[in-house]
């Protein structure tokens, strides 16, 4: 067959694939700049000054890419402003059993981590009628739900002529060093950021407000944080690595849904799942729903401090529900952490509902924790070296006033230390209540250095002197209503 040449030069620059009219800017009496999909919106935004307020009419803004300036605002006029980082692939050609299309050169993805051949290691995703196709390693593996890239060609095993075929290509919808930027009410989808970067890439900025935004089907993160950011509501779902990630001091994330992330199969124990925050101070994570992520639900890792994790529903994630790692001074209060570790991961304690790992001065209080797989709450001390606050040891953590509901037999809690066990000190379980299957009466529920312990044993060590183990016929019936 003849060799086709793909003409994506305009699209690669983030512009619409069809010819756009000359830039026009409708400035309302209020000083707003009104945008609509038929305009060259990228040029309008690039020409606008700091402080400009853009109002986006409903419609599909394919190739939207804004480098933001101080005090700019991007506000959806209605419910249907969709910013899309993909290009449309038309005119597929038949090649034997397959249909093929030329592609731009593969984009590097040096910051991703996955197994050889992993979906994580490429950046471009292919969608058919808004449905993500899974990449496979050879044409022999193709079916109606997959695609294969060989060099600069895409292969599918179905006729795409009547389908909308889109290739995620642009790295970011929003990025840049602007401060005090508002992004409100838009949907951001099908961008191709590299690993540990986001379609809404806030790392260079400060003080952004992200209000009722949906970020979905982006290859790595949906949103990367910056200092003083406020995330109010919204949906950060179905992204390739994380819903939200990055460092950011004095961040507030409230009322968001973070679900079904890590479709690209990044390493779960590396950085994948719902949200992962690193090296941050003063973060408030409150009232969010974190569920069905392929990895840990809520993960604070490395030198975080003064963190509040409060009133969240964290459920049905593949690994830990909440993980507080190599950090200090955290308060985990009033959350519902339910039936995580859905992968059944059982090596060590890496499937705990709540894992306090090499961290100190963390209070876990007044939570409802339903344990179906692995363990409930574990404190771990291993050799993790040091950071900004000295060696990362598990010291001075308080686990108090929680309701633990054991949905299946054999669940445990406790302390594990294979590094300097004598220095894993000051950790206390107090006034917790454990609802367990009737057959579990008297069984050791705590795993401590030296072996498993029952309630009288841990009470003799100073733990749970006011705690209670309640054997019942049906523990699930004792879960409080939401």
Domains delineated in the chain: 174-478 (2.160.20)
Length, in residues, of the chain = 482
Looking at the chain, the whole-number percentage of residues with pLDDT higher than 70 is: 93
Residue 28 confidence (pLDDT) above 80: no
Residue 8 confidence (pLDDT) above 70: no
* Residue range 124-170, pLDDT digits in tens: 999 999 999 999 989 999 999 999 999 999 999 999 999 999 999 99
Residue 121 confidence (pLDDT) above 70: yes
The reported pLDDT for the residue numbered 10 is: 28
The reported pLDDT for the residue numbered 232 is: 98
Give me the chain's average pLDDT, please. Answer: 91
The reported pLDDT for the residue numbered 29 is: 44
The reported pLDDT for the residue numbered 14 is: 32
The reported pLDDT for the residue numbered 107 is: 84
The reported pLDDT for the residue numbered 7 is: 34
Give the separation between CA 399 and CA 377, rounded to whole angstroms: 9
The reported pLDDT for the residue numbered 117 is: 65
Read off the pLDDT band of 389 (50, 70, 90): confident
Question: CA angle 465-364-354, nearest 5°?
Answer: 110
Give the separation between CA 193 and CA 242, rounded to whole angstroms: 12
Give the separation between CA 399 and CA 14, rounded to whole angstroms: 51
pTM of the model: 0.92
Mean pLDDT of 219-227: 97
The answer to whether the CB of 353 falls within 8 A of the CB of 322 is yes
Mean pLDDT of 218-245: 97
* Residue range 330-384, pLDDT digits in tens: 999 999 999 999 998 877 788 899 999 999 999 999 999 999 999 999 999 999 9
Torsion sign across C-alpha atoms 454, 459, 462, 463: positive
The reported pLDDT for the residue numbered 6 is: 37
Looking at the chain, the whole-number percentage of residues with pLDDT higher than 90 is: 83
Distances (CA, A) of 246 to 64, 206, 355, 450: 23, 13, 20, 38
Burial class (CB within 10 angstroms; exposed 0-12, middle 13-18, buried 19+) of 433: middle
Mean pLDDT of 195-214: 97
């Amino acid at each position: 067959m003849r060799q086709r040449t793909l003409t994506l030069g305009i699209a690669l620059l983030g512009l619409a694939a069809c010819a756009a009219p000359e830039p026009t800017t409708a400035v309302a009496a209020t000083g707003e700049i009104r945008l609509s999909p038929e305009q060259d919106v990228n040029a309008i935004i690039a020409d606008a000054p700091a402080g400009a307020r853009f109002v986006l009419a409903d419609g599909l803004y394919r190739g939207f890419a804004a480098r933001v300036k101080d005090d700019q605002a991007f506000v959806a006029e209605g419910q249907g402003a969709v910013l899309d980082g993909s290009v449309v692939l038309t005119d597929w050609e038949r090649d034997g059993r397959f249909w093929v299309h030329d592609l731009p050169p593969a984009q590097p993805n040096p910051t991703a981590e996955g197994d050889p051949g992993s979906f994580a290691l490429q950046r471009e995703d292919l969608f058919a009628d808004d449905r993500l196709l899974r990449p496979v390693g050879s044409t022999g593996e193709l079916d109606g739900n997959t695609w294969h890239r060989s060099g600069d060609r895409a292969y599918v095993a179905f006729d795409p002529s009547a389908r909308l075929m889109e290739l995620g290509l642009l790295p970011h919808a929003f990025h840049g060093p602007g401060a005090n930027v508002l992004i409100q009410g838009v949907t951001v989808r099908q961008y191709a950021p590299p690993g540990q970067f986001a379609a809404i890439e806030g790392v260079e900025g400060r003080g952004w407000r992200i209000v009722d935004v949906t970020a979905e089907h982006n290859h790595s993160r949906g949103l990367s944080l910056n200092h003083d950011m406020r995330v109010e509501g919204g949906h950060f779902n179905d992204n390739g690595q994380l819903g939200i990630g990055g460092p950011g001091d004095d961040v507030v994330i409230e009322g968001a849904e973070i679900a079904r992330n890590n479709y690209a199969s990044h390493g779960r124990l590396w950085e994948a799942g719902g949200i992962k925050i690193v090296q941050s101070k003063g973060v408030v994570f409150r009232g969010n729903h974190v569920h069905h992520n392929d990895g840990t639900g809520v993960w604070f890792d490395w030198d975080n401090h003064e963190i509040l994790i409060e009133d969240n529903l964290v459920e049905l994630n593949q690994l830990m529900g909440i993980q507080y790692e190599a950090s200090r001074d955290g308060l985990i209060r009033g959350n519902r952490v339910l039936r995580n570790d859905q992968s059944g991961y059982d090596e060590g304690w890496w499937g705990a509902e709540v894992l306090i790992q090499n961290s100190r001065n963390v209070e876990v209080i007044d939570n409802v924790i339903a344990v179906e797989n692995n363990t409930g709450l574990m404190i771990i001390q291993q050799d993790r070296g040091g950071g900004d606050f000295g060696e990362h040891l598990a010291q001075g953590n308080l686990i108090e006033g929680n309701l633990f509901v054991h949905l299946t037999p054999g669940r445990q809690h406790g302390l594990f230390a294979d590094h300097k066990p004598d220095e894993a000190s000051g950790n206390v379980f107090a006034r917790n209540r454990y609802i367990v299957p009737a057959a579990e009466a008297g069984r050791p529920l705590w795993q401590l250095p030296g072996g498993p312990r029952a309630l009288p044993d841990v009470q003799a060590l100073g733990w749970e002197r006011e705690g209670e183990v309640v054997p019942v016929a049906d523990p699930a019936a004792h879960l409080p209503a939401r």
